[in-house]
């Protein structure tokens, strides 16, 4: 264990892997969320014995890995026609052990300064696409690898408009909001330049406690950036993003979704339109096999951020004077990336 002490957050999911049904449910989630084209493989598995035999074979053949782990970068963009539609609002690394399916989620703030490119992390995908169509995923993987000192094998880009629609298809999600907060400056799409300036924003208010959110409210919950207090930090925002993803996962595991092929087909269509990935189709079956092994009660999460005094978590990043970079950015504490590298290494390999 490193000298840097940070808390690891574990989420207890609603379903424990006590039955074959739950294992299959987890597999369906992974297919729909990460590789929507694999939906067709799921349906064919009931009809083609050869496919079933391949699934039973436990070997992982096609997923790239390092130290027996496959690292997948999950990016979320706002989409639409407004300014900054292709900036990555959400940046998260998913690390999976190829043997045990031990899984880790690590969130990265969008404002991290990428020294080699002289841009913030949330602009890297856009920068890569301008240089070359399809270059966004390649450059984003390279930048994140530079920040965490770990290889990034694949990337998945999610347009949040599809995320919003998926939540509506499943009838909303149940979310436990830990802290009440108000955001007085949530931008209204399409009104970025209107005058007076106050008309560019709406006021968001979230009360603490368990509540049901439709797609629109869930999207606002994860994208809110201007709340006062702890909920206005990147740390809290990253936690909200993880909370919504896990809540959607829980809803996808409900029997009324699992056995409703009409809704599954609708979800598949939505994600086909709103997801880009460089995961090769030949690796979909490997993801299926890992899903069967996944221990749903033990997914670990971590956040690279400015820490939290209230949670007694020391800072890995800090905001230097804006005069240094001409904008608000985050760089490593004491200008030293080693504690970040050490933290990521510790979170990912904690169970190995």
pLDDT of residue 79: 61
With contact defined as beta carbons under 8 Å apart, do 92 and 241 qualify? yes
Q: Whose structure tokens read 């997914």?
A: 299
pLDDT at position 58: 65
What dotted CATH number matches 9-171+234-348? 3.40.630.190
Residue of higher predicted confidence among 47 and 268: 268
Q: What is the pLDDT of residue 10?
A: 35
Half-sphere exposure in the Cβ direction for 77 (13 Å, CA) = 25
Q: What are the pLDDT digits (tens) for 164-179?
A: 888 999 999 999 999 8
**Percent helix, strand and coil across the chain, each to the nearest 5:** 45, 20, 35
For 262-321, the pLDDT digits (tens) are 888 888 888 778 888 898 888 888 887 787 677 666 778 888 887 766 666 778 999 999
Does residue 113 contact residue 329 with C-beta atoms inside 8 Å?
A: yes
Token pair listed for 7: 């808390």
- Contact in structure between 65 and 148 (CB atoms under 8 Å): no
| Per-residue pLDDT tens digits for 205-263 | 999 999 999 999 998 898 888 888 778 776 677 778 778 877 887 787 777 877 788 88
Which sequence spans correspond to the domains of the chain?
9-171+234-348
pTM: 0.73
């Amino acid at each position: 264990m490193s000298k840097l002490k940070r808390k690891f957050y574990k989420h207890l999911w609603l379903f424990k892997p006590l039955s074959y049904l739950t294992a299959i449910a987890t597999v369906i989630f992974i297919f729909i969320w990460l590789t929507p084209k694999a939906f067709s493989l799921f349906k064919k598995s009931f009809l083609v014995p050869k496919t079933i035999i391949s699934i039973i074979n436990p070997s992982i053949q096609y997923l790239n890995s390092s130290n027996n782990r496959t690292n997948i970068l999950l990016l979320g963009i706002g989409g639409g026609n407004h300014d900054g539609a292709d900036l990555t609002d959400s940046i998260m690394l998913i690390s999976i052990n190829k043997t045990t399916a031990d899984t880790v989620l690590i969130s990265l703030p969008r404002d991290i300064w990428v020294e080699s490119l002289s841009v913030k992390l949330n602009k890297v995908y856009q920068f890569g696409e301008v240089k070359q169509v399809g270059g966004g995923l390649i450059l984003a993987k390279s930048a994140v690898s530079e920040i965490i000192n770990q290889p990034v094998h694949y990337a998945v880009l999610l347009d949040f408009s599809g995320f919003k629609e998926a939540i509506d298809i499943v009838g909303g999600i149940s979310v436990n909001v830990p802290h009440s907060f108000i955001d007085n400056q949530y931008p209204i799409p399409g009104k970025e330049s209107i005058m007076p300036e106050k008309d560019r924003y709406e006021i968001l208010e979230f009360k603490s406690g368990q509540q049901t959110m439709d797609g629109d409210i869930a999207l606002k919950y994860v994208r809110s950036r201007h709340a006062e207090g702890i909920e206005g930090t990147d740390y809290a925002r990253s936690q909200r993003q993880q909370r919504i993803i896990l809540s959607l996962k829980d809803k996808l595991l409900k029997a009324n979704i699992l056995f409703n092929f009409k809704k599954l087909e609708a979800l598949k269509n939505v994600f086909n339109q709103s997801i880009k990935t460089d995961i090769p189709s030949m690796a979909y079956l490997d993801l299926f096999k890992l899903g069967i092994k996944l221990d749903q009660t033990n997914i670990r999460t971590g956040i690279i951020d400015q820490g939290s005094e209230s949670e007694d978590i020391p800072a890995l990043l800090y905001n230097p004077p804006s005069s240094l970079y001409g904008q608000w950015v985050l760089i490593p504490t004491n200008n030293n990336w080693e504690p970040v590298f050490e933290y990521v290494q510790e979170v990912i390999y904690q169970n190995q």
